[in-house]
C-alpha cells in the first residue's frame, strides 16, 4: 500500500505533471446565503496583483477586515466534494489522513495507516463516506490518494496543509485541465507547490 511518507516524497520530488490550487473562498458575514468572495475578486478590490503563490494575508489588510476569512487547514465541503467527484472517488478506494485529532467521534479508522512526523501525527480514514462526514463536520483530511502499489506514484494526491487556506491537487495534465474547468470553484495552476 502507498504510505503517507511515500506520498510526501513524491510531492516534494515534483513527480506529478501538474499541480492545481483551489483557494478556499472568503464570505461576507451576515449575508443571507453566505455570499462567497473569491481571491480574484478580493485582489481586484484591493488593487493587488494575483499570482499563483499569493497568500490571503496579501489580499486582506488588517485595518479592513470586513470578510469572514477563508478556512485554514480544512477544505470546504463543496470543494472537497467537487474534487473527489471529479476524481471518481467512491467507496474504499482511497487512503486519507488527519493531523492530530479526529473531528467526529466513531469514524472508522484504517489499521494500516499511521504517520508520525515532527508536529504531524496522522491517522487514516477507511472510505469516501468517512471523508464526507468529517469534511461536513469542518475537518477534512489533510492527505488523500488512491490506494495502490507502494512502489508506484499515485495518479493524484490531494493536500490540505494544516496552515494553508487552499486545497492543492497534484495530478496528471488531463486531471489538471478538468479541475481548472470546474464550474463555480476558483482554481489556478502552480509552478512550484512546495514553496506555495
pLDDT of residue 196: 47
Residue with cell 499569493: 54
Q: Tell me, what's the pLDDT at 163?
A: 84
pLDDT at 45: 85
**Residue-wise burial string across 14-50, b where 16 or more C-beta atoms lie within 10 A, e elsewhere:** eebebbbbbbbbbbeeeeeeeebbbbeebbeeeeeeb
Mind listing the pLDDT tens digit of every residue in the chain (196 residues)?
555 555 666 666 677 899 999 999 998 877 666 788 899 998 988 888 888 888 888 887 653 567 888 998 889 999 999 999 998 876 555 566 655 555 555 665 655 555 555 555 556 666 777 788 878 888 888 888 887 666 567 788 888 887 889 999 999 999 999 999 999 999 999 976 654 4
Record the cell numbers describing residue 134, joined without a space.
468529517
CA pair distance 106, 79, nearest whole angstrom = 24
Euclidean distance between CA atoms 196 and 190, whole angstroms? 8
Specify the pLDDT at position 155. Answer: 84
User: Could you tell me the CA-to-CA distances from 72 to 68, 85, 90, 187 in Å, in that order?
Assistant: 12, 22, 26, 16
Give the per-residue pLDDT at 67: 81
Amino acid at each position: 500500500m502507498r504510505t503517507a511518507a511515500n506520498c510526501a516524497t513524491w510531492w516534494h520530488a515534483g513527480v506529478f505533471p501538474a499541480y492545481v490550487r483551489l483557494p478556499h473562498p472568503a464570505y461576507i458575514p451576515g449575508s443571507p446565503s453566505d455570499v462567497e468572495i473569491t481571491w480574484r475578486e478580493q485582489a481586484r478590490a484591493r488593487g493587488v496583483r494575483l499570482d499563483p503563490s499569493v497568500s490571503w494575508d496579501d489580499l486582506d489588510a488588517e485595518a479592513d477586515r470586513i470578510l469572514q476569512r477563508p478556512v485554514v487547514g480544512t477544505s470546504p465541503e463543496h470543494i472537497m466534494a467537487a474534487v473527489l467527484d471529479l476524481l471518481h472517488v467512491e467507496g474504499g478506494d482511497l487512503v486519507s489522513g488527519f493531523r492530530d485529532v479526529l473531528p467526529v467521534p466513531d469514524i472508522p479508522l484504517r489499521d494500516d495507516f499511521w504517520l508520525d512526523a515532527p508536529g504531524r501525527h496522522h491517522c487514516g480514514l477507511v472510505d469516501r463516506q468517512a471523508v464526507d462526514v468529517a469534511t461536513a463536520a469542518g475537518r477534512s483530511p489533510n492527505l488523500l490518494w488512491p490506494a495502490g502499489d507502494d512502489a508506484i506514484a499515485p495518479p493524484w494526491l490531494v493536500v490540505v496543509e494544516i496552515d494553508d487556506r487552499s486545497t492543492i491537487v497534484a495530478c496528471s495534465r488531463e486531471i489538471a485541465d478538468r479541475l481548472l474547468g470546474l464550474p463555480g470553484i476558483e482554481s489556478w495552476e502552480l509552478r512550484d507547490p512546495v514553496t506555495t
